[in-house]
Amino acid sequence: MATPPRTEQVIDPVFVEPPDFAAGAPAVRSVLDSLHRKTGLVTGAAALLRMNQPGGFDCPGCAWPEETEHRKRLEFCENGARAFADEATRKRVTPEFFAAHSLADLTMRSGRWLNEQGRLTRPMVKKPGADHYTPITWFSAFELIARHLNGLDSPDQAAFYTSGRTSNEAAFLWQLFVRVYGTNNMPDCSNLCHESSGTALTQVIGSGKGTVRLSDFDAADAIFVLGQNPGSNHPRMLAALERAKQNGTKIVVVNPLDEPGTRRFRNPQRVDGWVGNGTELCDLHIPVRVNGDVALLKGLCKAMLEMEAQSPGKVLDRAFIKEFTTGFEDFAADIASTAWEAIETGSGVSRALITEAATIAAAADNTICCWAMGLTQHVNAVANIQEVINFLMLRGNLGRRGAGACPVRGHSNVQGDRTMGVWEKPDAIWLERLGTEFGFTAPTSHGYDTMDCLRAMDAGKVRVLVAMGGNFVAATPDSGYVEAAIRKCDLTVQISTKLNRSHVVSGNTAIILPVLGRTEVDRQPGGEQFVTVENSMGVVTASRGRLKPASEFLKSEVRVVAELAVATVGTRSAINWRRLADDYDLIRDHIAKVVPGFAKFNDRLYDDGQIELPHAVRDQREFATASGKAEFTVHELPALNVPVGQFVMTTIRSHDQFNTTVYSDNDRYRGISASREVVFMSAADMTDLNLQAGERVNLSSGDGEATRTLSGFAVVPYRIPRGCVACYYPEANPLVPFDAVATGSNTPAYKSVPVRISRAI
């Protein structure tokens, strides 16, 4: 499949020297610019004062927790403010817009252009063979969807996708509806991102969630940031790292790219963030080669075991290892037999640098490891994360203040959706609790996750997709394959706030159901409603919309699920769906009875505005694993199967995007503007290939019939290891082979793809 054709003119990228700091005055300018262009300065600024504040709304951006101990009057980052402005934009996508823009036209538009058109305002339908969306009433839309769903030979011919922006209340009702309908086909966006974390952690510590609180960052002696670029993807994390630095914490950054976001932070909420140099964050940057993490982590463990051998009892937490773990001997034997040479080759990092980092870890009583997609989206992703746990356990860094595992999630409620039961592999206990509470027998056979769902669509086994938010088409890999599979569906339904490629690439019939955003007032017969979301650290917070809805025709996500349920299963379930949508307290009362850790949910919320979920590892050092202990694991060094002359491509996000939502073609932290069709390469590799900055190249992956090509991408010199290149997500997704998935979690391997690079003729 070649580069998607575009209506917009292709523009040459402009390069400037990247800054060596994150945030600062440029971040404030960027926020003011977004507000000015999208919401209006006064309206926008007033609303932002309610974001991440008690009684206000939760940021629709990432899942970094808001401060409670150190909460500020302005408790948001640049990207949170832009996510807000993007949702609260004054622009509208009306029926007139769809009359003016055919699907043939919209298919040629970039994701950024589609997003910039504004908020959806009315339910729309694309009938079979039609080239335009036309208006449809809510009633007719629900009836049409119900006819399709009930017309299938089996409920397993339908799939229900969930994006991480879906609130707990909507997610709980959604999974209930889907299970009453009769399937567990619940693919969700965490399948594409932290599924590898959940799978890896559950196997070795008995819980799929991180084990730290935000306050632990104030008590850590060392923080390792692996495969994560917090400056752009979790910016308020920089404030926690800044405080840690002021407490004397050592910060080690493991990332192929040397990113300004982890070098220096100019905190705009402090004077030195304006007039001074801000705070230097990174003490040691480890430029690991793309997908060299298993080798690097084994190297860190090897160096620490060697230190322990020289000074017995000085490095390892023998008491923790003895009492709380199993498998240490096999692990240590494997590490001892892994040669430094193989470690250096596999990681692309010298023994000396690895030892320097290990020395920091050995000197730290309390260490936290944070990670994101840079570890979770590889074929060996599960091994990456389990090696992190091996590394942490050497000094007992689990279930202790200032220490632990911290997978940082990229979508505000992706963790909450899973907690609410949005999972294609529900356990029997969950299904029984749900069935008991609502008086029905839930389906027990496991359903399709995202990748299996796409395979089933391609095979004609799934014929209806109903998506709650998100951008299923753009977020998934191997775009050519995905778009062909989607087009095989009889019906695709998008429950959305804004336009994206998933509205343009659709099934034979397509329906758009426009919903309220999290920032908007949600009034129901039971009064003004609030929802809840769960952040990366297991804190569930109330979120109350404050803005006037973008259109009088919008419904809340909860109301849409209730009406869909009434239309589809209303006659065969005793559940009063509409009553639950009238008053979300009723949904929370059910959550309190079904979901562990949510007892007295409403009372605790009304008292404190948030609840902290229990965590057996963090709170009691209890490990619900097969052995009842934390488990050391042994992993082979991944084969570096990159043919000679080829590169390993990793996909990255720019500073001007949030997941698949692109705000502009600029990337301030990498010194790029005006284009996203770029490939970052080391200056040394460019010299070898005799390539100049800005020169156009073609990138290809796969071979024979499975060859995928992106044409005319501009080369950008950047601080990245030799043999490795980087391109933006989702533009580079067409190059990611569909079958390249993480073993054990089925998460696409967006982060390491062998590619050939040739000069564009």
- Interacting residues toward ligand SF4 by CB under 6 A: 59, 61-62, 64, 76-77, 79-80, 83, 234-236
Nearest to 89, CA basis, from 137, 54, 37: 37
CB neighbour class for 753 (10 Å; exposed up to 12, middle 13-18, buried from 19): buried
For the bound state, the minimum distance from the C-beta of residue 80 to ligand SF4, rounded and expressed in Å, comes to 2
CA distance 750 to 742: 10
Q: ∠ CA(91), CA(97), CA(101), 5° rounding?
A: 130
Whose structure tokens read 């990748």? 451
For the bound state, the minimum distance from the C-beta of residue 260 to ligand SF4, rounded and expressed in Å, comes to 17
Torsion of CA 725, 683, 11, 504, to 10 degrees: 0
Closer residue to ligand SF4 in complex, CB, 25/336: 25
Residue type present at position 542: A
For the bound state, the minimum distance from the C-beta of residue 503 to ligand SF4, rounded and expressed in Å, comes to 24
CA distance 250 to 633: 27
For the bound state, the minimum distance from the C-beta of residue 59 to ligand SF4, rounded and expressed in Å, comes to 3
Closer residue to ligand SF4 in complex, CB, 214/594: 214
For the bound state, the minimum distance from the C-beta of residue 408 to ligand SF4, rounded and expressed in Å, comes to 9
For the bound state, the minimum distance from the C-beta of residue 672 to ligand SF4, rounded and expressed in Å, comes to 21
For the bound state, the minimum distance from the C-beta of residue 145 to ligand SF4, rounded and expressed in Å, comes to 32
Closer residue to ligand SF4 in complex, CB, 80/545: 80
CA–chain centroid gap for 265, Å, is 23
Using Cβ positions, the residue closest to ligand SF4 within the complex turns out to be 80
Which residues is 226 bridged to in the sheet? 254, 371
Closer residue to ligand SF4 in complex, CB, 83/566: 83
For the bound state, the minimum distance from the C-beta of residue 324 to ligand SF4, rounded and expressed in Å, comes to 33
Closer residue to ligand SF4 in complex, CB, 489/662: 662
Q: Which own/partner pairs from 68-73 qualify as long-range (CB within 8 Å, at least 24 positions apart)?
A: 68/214, 68/610, 69/214, 69/215, 70/239, 70/243, 72/269, 73/49
Closer residue to ligand SF4 in complex, CB, 384/536: 536
For the bound state, the minimum distance from the C-beta of residue 658 to ligand SF4, rounded and expressed in Å, comes to 7
Looking only at the bridges linking them, the beta strands covering 284-286 and 250-254 are parallel
SS3 readout for 648-663: EEEEECCCCEECCEEC
Closer residue to ligand SF4 in complex, CB, 64/181: 64
Closer residue to ligand SF4 in complex, CB, 77/505: 77
For the bound state, the minimum distance from the C-beta of residue 234 to ligand SF4, rounded and expressed in Å, comes to 5
Closer residue to ligand SF4 in complex, CB, 80/208: 80
CA distance 173 to 274: 47
What's the distance, Cα to Cα, between the start and end of the chain in Å?
A: 18
For the bound state, the minimum distance from the C-beta of residue 83 to ligand SF4, rounded and expressed in Å, comes to 6
Closer residue to ligand SF4 in complex, CB, 61/734: 61
Question: How many CB atoms within 10 Å of residue 582?
Answer: 18
CA distance 651 to 660: 12
Question: How many CB atoms within 10 Å of residue 19?
Answer: 18
Closer residue to ligand SF4 in complex, CB, 62/144: 62
SS3 readout for 513-528: EEECCCCECEEECCEE
Nearest to 542, CA basis, from 557, 532, 556: 532
